[in-house]
Structures are given as structure tokens and as C-alpha cells.
A and B are shown apart, each in its own frame.
Chain A
Amino acid sequence: MTNLDVALLKKDFPIFTKVMRGGSRLVYLDSGATAQKPIQVLDAEREFYEKHNAAVHRGAHLLAEEASELYEGARSTVAQFLGATDDEIIFTKSATESLNLVAYSFGNSDSSNRFYLDSSSSIVISEMEHHANLIPWQQLAKRTGASLSWFPVTEDGRLDLSNLEEVIKPDVKVVAITHQSNVLGTINPLDAIVKRAHEVGAVVVLDACQSVPHFAIDVKSLGVDFLAFSGHKALGPTGVGVLWGKAEHLREMEPFLTGGSMIESVTMTEATWAPAPRKFEAGVPNMAQAVGLAAALKYLTALGMDKIESHERELTEYALKKFSELDRVEVIGPKNIEMRGAVLSFTVEGAHPHDVGQVLDQYGIAVRTGHHCAWPLMRKMHVVGTTRASFYIYNDHADVDALVDGVRQVQKYFKV
């Protein structure tokens, strides 16, 4: 398989012409936080506003028709990208909202609903969750009286599934887990978890923020029940996220946000709901952003998700090798490439992550520092924080080399 032509595709991203601190080029290693945008995405958004802007599903005029068609077209694009059907795709503002939607919907259920939780039910998460897939469940447990338990993380940054059957007990209703850790890069094996969860009648909610942008996903073969991701980490605009849910579940679920567009009929005292996905999309949605996301997913599809995966794998392998040659630098997370994505967290002995990031910034290198919205995981790994480099389609060996040189500069600067 031939690799991505990084030099060529980088021309699609206007931001790479920017001159950074100290006159350096931009070495963008923070795609785990948010990805840069190709001109195709920016154009799609602008074109929506310039030529088709209207509130979808409302007006009786040409623009409303065009806007609705583009918005629903975007839904189809997302559905195809995930191997789902159109009606299973809900647009939200972000993965955070998608996950809260599921948690609040379950919390709104009455006892006749299969998603109803009370003190006899429990929820399972993991110790490596981003706060976005931790706090909604923690708080749902508090509100309903359900108990919360979790899969621990091993010293080498893998999920400890050795007690699978004790963790996913018969009273478990929800298992919410990340596909790939945003801190460690660990890709979690799902088959056994999904099998056990379904055995006890639980649903599996997958936080796919760090996987959907990076390798091919087919919701049917994953076997999960819900999947959430954010458009902005997949080359798309901010302000649009996706929740995919199996049609049968969406039918049964209570709405989260209520208001315009999500109803079937309304009186002063009662309301009934439109079928999914509209039941979950109250108010005028982020239309241009959804259209921009569709352009992003088309861009990724044209590059080829398999090519993207092997490009990132090769780059991560190279980075792991380079980092193993650095003294007093420790990679936090799996040190081999198996079941591991393009996220590299590390610590530099004697230098705080914030200081590491500051020195790297002087060389135009953008990384994330701190606890990465995964405070419990930091405690588990015995670190106050890490410096995180995350790679994407526009990164190459030269970027890894710049990072490694930068880390050496950090050590020189702080004499550590």
C-alpha cells in the first residue's frame, strides 16, 4: 500500500503557511485536541452560508429546500462513513453533548423503559475515560442511585479485562468505554466487552472521538449500541458532533433537549415526539457545521481510511523508536505498536509538562500539556500530567524529528 503524500495534502491546509514563534514553521502535534481544517471544509461551510442558508425543515422556500437537502445529505455521508443507516445519525454540538444525550435520556426514562436505572442497576466505565465519558455517567449514577464501577488500567496502560465477568455483573445496564485513549493511545479490544455486556442485557456506549478520525469504523461489526464522536477532531468544524445509536434503541429512548423541530404534536399541557433522529435534534441545528463535517469525511474517504491508519501507524512506530533513544524521557502508555493509535504521551524527568510545552512552542511545535481531561488516569499512572504529541494525516518524520530535537532543547534549557 502506498502511503499518503503528506507534502501534497498539506497544501490543502492554509494554517501551515503560518509563521510561528521564533520564525519557525508550524509543527502541529495536537490533533488529538482538535484537527486542522482543509480548504475543502472551509469552502463547504462558506458555500452553505453564501448560497443556501436557511433554517432546515421549516420554510417553504427554495433556500429552505436546499439547506434541508444539504443537511440531510450530510447525515447520509456520516451514516455511510460509519456503516449505519441515515435515521440512526443524530447531529449534536460535540461528542460531549452526544454522551450527555445518552446519559440524560436514560435518566429521563420511567420504570417501564428498558433504559430505566435505579439503585438495583449499575453502570460500568473505565479508568482511562476522558471526563466527557466519565462525569455524565458518574452523575447519572448519583441521580438514579445506580452504582458505578470501572475497569482498572494496568501499569503499561492497557485495560485490565482479567475480571470481565465480575466487573460486568448481571445488574449492569450501561457499559461506557473509550475506543482509543486520548492520553495513552491505547486502542481497547471491544469484542469480549460487547459480548459480556449483551449477555447481561447491557448496552455499550463507545466514545469514538479518537478512533473515528483515524481508522475505518463499521458500527455493525463493532457490535456496540451507541457511538459518539466530535466533528472537529476529524477535520470538520467545531460545533458539530455525532451520536450514532441502533434504531431500536433510539425508538425507545426519551428525548434529552426539548423544543422546536423535535415534536409530532403539541398542546399547552402535552407533547409527543417526532421519530428519531429528529426527536433528538431540538432547535435549529448547526447546519453549516454539519455540511462542513460531511466535506471532511469525504476528504478522509478520498484519502482512504486504511491509508491513514497505516500512515499513522508507521509514524507512531518511528516516534516510539526515537523516544526510546532519549534519556530521562518516559513514554506513558503502551510502548509497542500493537493496538495503539497515534497519540504519544511522555514525561521529561525534572521538567514539568507545562514547561516542556513552553519550550517546544518556541520552536513552533504545538503539543498538549497537563492532565488531558483525564485526571483519574493521571493519578493512576502516578504523574501530575504529561506532554502529549498526537499525529494525523499532515504529520511526517520531519515533525517527529523536530519534536525529538525539541525535547533535547528542553533538557538543555532546564539542565535536566
Chain B
Amino acid sequence: MELDSLYQEVILDHYKNPAHKKLSANPTVSVHHVNPSCGDEITLNLILDGSKVKDVSWDGVGCSISQASTSIMTDLMIGKEVPEALSVVDEFTELMQSKGTLNGNEETLDDAVALAGVSKFPARVKCALLGWMAFKDASLQATGKNEG
């Protein structure tokens, strides 16, 4: 069924058991993003150690795609240097905008390639990107902060 390309097993697993879905204390930066078309909301806390992503934690409400995608993203980002993390965000964004023409590189995107099917459902791309955009925003704010 066409639906199975959207709701991969990995996604449903992350939806049922989201990773890092508990806000850590004392974040370097905390951001709040909403998707006004469906009302999904996320708060994301980022803790940097120098230029390294030490911790990403979050809380929020949303559909299975936004929840699973955010969960996968946190697993992926923790431990990375910020510039590398941001390039992974760009790579994932490109995958989401590919309208089903890309499969995604498993080496860099890991579990996030399971979201490739989302790109065939234009209405869901924003859901998949919600947490990633929050992370990007937080990283840019945090690094701006550090430099300043």
C-alpha cells in the first residue's frame, strides 16, 4: 500500500517511543516552533559544549511524522560538531523537497532515510521538517551567542 512508503516501521517505532522527549535543564538555547497550518508545536533545548552538540531535548505535540522525525533528528545530532550537524540538516531538507526522486544517504542520515517517502506527500513535508528547523534555529542562535 502507498501508505507504507510514508509510515515505515522505524517511524511508527519512534512515534511510539520518542527519543530525548524530555526537556533538559540549563540549555544553551531554547526555541519554540509551531506549524500554523496544523497546530503542531515543539520546544527544543540545545546544549553545546564548545562547538559540539552535547545534548538535544524536546517536548511537543504533533503527528507521527513530526514526532518521529524530531526523535530521529535528536539521535543523529547529539555528539556532532555544529557545522557537520547543520550540513546534515541541509541534506535532510533537500531529501524532503525531492518529491520522491531521492532515497537519502544512509551513511549521513541514518534512520532519517526512512522519512524519504514523506517527500511524495507535499502536505507532510512541513511536519517532517518541524524539529529539524527548530534545531537549526537553535544552533544558529547558540553559535551566534558564543561568538558574541
The residues of A with any CB-CB pair to B shorter than 8 Å are 21-22, 351-355, 358-359, 362, 369-371, 375, 378, 384-385, 413-414
Contacts and interface: CB of A to CB of B under 8 A. Distances in A.
A351 B61 CA distance: 12
Interface string B5-24: 01100001000000000000
Interface stretch (B62-70, B81-89, B93-101, B136-144): B62-70
Nearest to A371: B39
A370 B1 contact: no
B62 A352 contact: yes
A359 B63 contact: no
B25 interface: no
A369 B39 CA distance: 10
B3 A413 contact: yes
7 contacts: A21-B2, A354-B40, A354-B63, A355-B7, A362-B1, A370-B38, A385-B39
A201 to B, nearest CB: 38
A184 to B, nearest CB: 17
Nearest to A350: B16
A131 to B, nearest CB: 11
B121 A354 contact: no
Contacts of A355: 7, 63-65
A370 B3 contact: no
Q: Which of B2, B3, B65, B121: most chain A CB closer than 10 A? A: B3
Nearest to A352: B63
Query: A352, A353, A362, A385: which has the most chain B beta carbons within 10 Å?
Result: A352
B2 A354 contact: no
Contact of A371 (B6, B38, B62): B38
B32 interface: no
Contact of A414 (B2, B12, B39): B12
A362 B4 CA distance: 11
A358 B40 CA distance: 16
Interface residues of B, number: 18
Given A354-B63, A414-B12, 12 more contacts: A351-B64, A352-B62, A354-B65, A354-B124, A358-B121, A362-B3, A369-B38, A371-B39, A384-B39, A384-B61, A413-B3, A414-B64
Which 7 pairs, one residue from A and one from B, show the smallest C-beta to C-beta distance? A354-B63, A352-B63, A371-B39, A370-B38, A362-B3, A384-B61, A355-B64
Q: Is chain A's interface secondary structure helix, strand, loop, or mixed overall? A: helix
B31 to A, nearest CB: 19
Given A21-B2, A358-B121, A414-B12, A378 B39 contact: yes
A355 B6 CA distance: 10
B64 A352 contact: yes
A240 to B, nearest CB: 25
Contact of A358 (B3, B39, B62): B3
Contacts of B125: none
Nearest to B16: A415
Contact of B2 (A362, A375, A384, A385): A362
Contacts of A375: 39
Contacts of A369: 38
A353 B121 CA distance: 16
A257 B40 CA distance: 36
Contacts of B115: none
Nearest to A370: B38
A396 to B, nearest CB: 26
Nearest to A416: B16
B20 to A, nearest CB: 19
Nearest to B39: A371
A135 to B, nearest CB: 13
Contacts of B2: 21-22, 362
**B3, B37, B39, B40: which has the most chain A beta carbons within 10 Å?**
B39
B6 to A, nearest CB: 7
Interface in B91-126: 121, 124
B73 interface: no
Nearest to B37: A370
A369 B65 CA distance: 15
Nearest to B3: A362
A366 B115 CA distance: 24
A355 B64 CA distance: 7
